[in-house]
Chains A and B, each alone.
Chain A
Amino acid sequence: MRRREGFSLTEMLAVIAVLTVVLSVTGRFFADGWKGMRRVLVRAENNQRLPFVMRSWQDSVSVSSPESWEASADRFRAGAMTARQTGPHLVISNGDSKRAVLLPRGSHCAFTIEREPGRAPCAVMTVTWDSRYSNRREANTVRLVACGRGQ
C-alpha cells in the first residue's frame, strides 16, 4: 500500500482558494470593525460637545435684547456680546470675559436671525459637519435656537 503524506496538488489548490476567501473576508471584517469603532468614537465625541455649545449659545443670547442683534455669515453680535467661530472653537466674548467652547470636529458655524410674523424673533446658529459611513459621506446639520429677553 502506497503511503500518503501531506496534500495532493488538487487539495493544495482547494486549500489555497478557501484560505484566500476566508482571509480576505476576515480582513475586510476587521477593517470595517476598526473603522466603525473610530467612527463611533468621533460621533460620541461630537454628540458630547453639542449640549455645551447649545447651552453656551442660549445662555449668552438669552440676556440680550432682540433689537440689538446683528448677524453676518460668520459672526453674531448682541450689544457687547459677540459670538464667532475661531478654528475648532465657538468663541463668545462679552466685554472683558471670553469663553471658548469646542465645536464638533470639522464643523462650520453660520448665524442667522429669524423674524417671522406672529412669532418671537430667534437667533439661530447652524452647525454643519460631514461624517463618513464606509465610502459615503453624510452631512450633519444642527440648528441651535436661542431667544432674547423682553419678548
Chain B
Amino acid sequence: MRNRGWIGLALVAVGLAVVPLLVEVLDLSTFYLVFLSGILFWTAQSTSWNILSGYSGYFSFGQGAFYGVGVYSMAVLFGRHGLDWLVALAIGGLLAMLLGLGIGFVAFRLRSLRGEIFALLTLAVPFILAALVRLSDTIDGGQGIVVPVPEFPEALGSFQSFFYVCSAVVGVFALTVAFVMERTRYGWALFAVRDDEAVAEGLGVPTFRHKMIAIAANGLIGGVSGAVFGLNLGFISVEGTFNLTVPLFVIVMSVLGGRNHWAGPMLGAVYIHTLQNRLADSGFEGWSLIVLGGILILLVVLAPEGLMARMRRRPWLVSGALVATLLGLGLWGGWGQPVDWLAVGLAAAVVVAFLPSKRRSGVTARARPSAAERLYEDETPGERGRPLVVAEGVTKDFGGVHALRGVSLTVSEGELIGLVGPNGSGKTTLVNLIAGASRLTAGTIAVDGTNLAGIPQHRVAHLGIARTYQIPRPFSTMTLRDNVAVAIMFGRDPHGLSEARAAAEEFLSLVGLDHLAAEYPGKVNLHERQLLEMARAMATRPSVLLLDEALAGLNPVEVDNAVRVVRRIHDSGVAIVFVEHVLRVVNQLATRIVVLDHGVLLAEGDPAAVMSDPAVVSAYLGKEGHARSH
C-alpha cells in the first residue's frame, strides 16, 4: 500500500524520460515537447505553492514573487552579465528561498495571524518587488531584458528538448520534495498545523520551524522553476513577470487537483494547461478565463477536496477511461491530434470519477465490542511523590479582568487532582497557563524544575505536559491512528512516520479505540472523540495530563467508561489534573480537590472535607449574605 506512491512517482519520472524518444519514434511535432514543458512548469509552480499553502493551509497570493525572483535572477545574471546559466539558476533559487524565509519570519511571528491576513501580506510582496525591479537600473529599470539562448549539450538536439529536460528535472524535483514531505514528519507537522495549529503546538510540534521550512521550500522550487522558465522567454519585462497569472493559476490548479496529495497540483496542471491549450487552439481563447473562473467557483462550492481525492476512489476505472479513450481515438485516427485525444480522455476520466457510487459510504462497522466492555476496572491511586508542576502566585489578567489572582498549586507524581469551581472561576485559564498556551501576568509555573516563562508551547509538551480540550479538537483530515501518530512523531520520544503509526495502536487500545484506528474523527461519536483526545495526549508520553471537561455532553454509561479510562491512565503512572462539573465524578475519582472561585483558590484538600466547607457550599449555591472578595 505504502509502495504505491513510490511506484507512482517513479512512473511519472520514467514517463517523462521516455517522452522525447516517443516524440521521435512517433514523429510527433516538437509542439508536444513545448506542451509538456508547459505542464511541467506549472507542475513545479503549483506543487511548490502546495507545499506551503496546501499542506499548512496558509494560502499565499504571492507565488508571483518567487517566480519573479527566479526569472529576474536568470535575466540579470545570465542574460545581462553572462554568468553561467546554471549558476544563475542556483542563485535565483537561493534568493527566492531567502525571500520566503523573510516573509515567513515577519508573518509567522505575528500573534493571531489569520489566513486572510497572510493572504493579503503575500499579495503585497510581488507589488513591492515589481516596484524595486522597475526602479533599479541594475536589475531592469523598466526597459526589459533580453535573455539569449544558452549553450546546451549537443546531444539534446534542439533548444526545445534542452528546455524540456530542464523543466522535467525541476518538475520531478518538486514532486519528489512534496512526496517525501508527505511521508515524513515535515509534511505531517504541516498537516497538523492546517487542521489545528494550537493543538499541534500543544502536542509538541514546533510549528514555526516547520512553517519556515515549508515557505523556504516553496520559495526555492518556485525560484528555480522561474529561472528555468526565464530561459524560454527571450524577453523579460516587469509587467509580464509580476502579474497575477502565476499566483492565480497555481491556486486554481492546486484546488482543482487536490491539495492533500503530492500529485494533486500536477493533476491540476495537466487539466488546466490542456484545457487552456485546446481553448486557444480552437478559437475559444476568449473563453479561457470564463471557464477557469467557473471551474474555481464550482470546485469551491461542490468539491473542495479536488479531483485527486475523487479519482483515488476508483483509480483503475479512471485510468482505464483515460487510456481507453486515448487509444480508441488514436487507433480510429479519424479525428484530431493526440493532444485532442488527451483532452477528451481527461474529460472522460473526470466523468468516471464523478459518477455516483453505488456503495453507500459513511456506514462504519461497529460490530466489535464497545470500548466500555474492553476495559477493566481498577483502583488504588498511587502515592503522592515528587512535585512535577509547581505553580506559585499565578495571576492572569485579560484586559482589566482578573481571571486568576495569586493561585498556588503543586501537582505531584501519582496525583489525580479535581479542579472545580463555578462558571468563570478561572479553571480553564489555569489549564491553559500550565500547558504554556498563554502567558502569566504575574507568578511562576515550573514543570519538572524548568520555569515556563518565555518557553514556546511545544517545548512545554516536551517537558511532559499534555492536555485535552473540552470540545474535542481532532485533526479532522487524519485517521484516528494518524492523529495519535502525529503526537508520537513530535512528542517526548519522537519516531518516524511508520514507527509512529505502528505505535499508535497501543495508545488507541489504552482508551479502547483500536478497532476504529482507520476511521476519521468525523465518523466517530463525541465520546470516542474525547477518548481520542486522551489517547493523543498520552502519545506524547506526558508526566502530567490536563483534562479539560473530558466528560461534557456524555450520557451516564459513557461517563462511567470515561472514568475507567481516566483511572487506567492514572494507573500507568501519569499524574492528572482534571476540570469537571459533574461533582459526583470528581468526588469519585480525585485524590485531592482544588476549588477556584472568582480567580482565587477557595479551598483544597480531600473531596469529602472540601465539599462540606461552608465557603465552597456558598460559592456553589450562592448563599445569601456571603460576601465575595471582589
Q: Do chains A and B interact in one complex? A: no
Interface positions of B (Cβ within 8 A of A): none
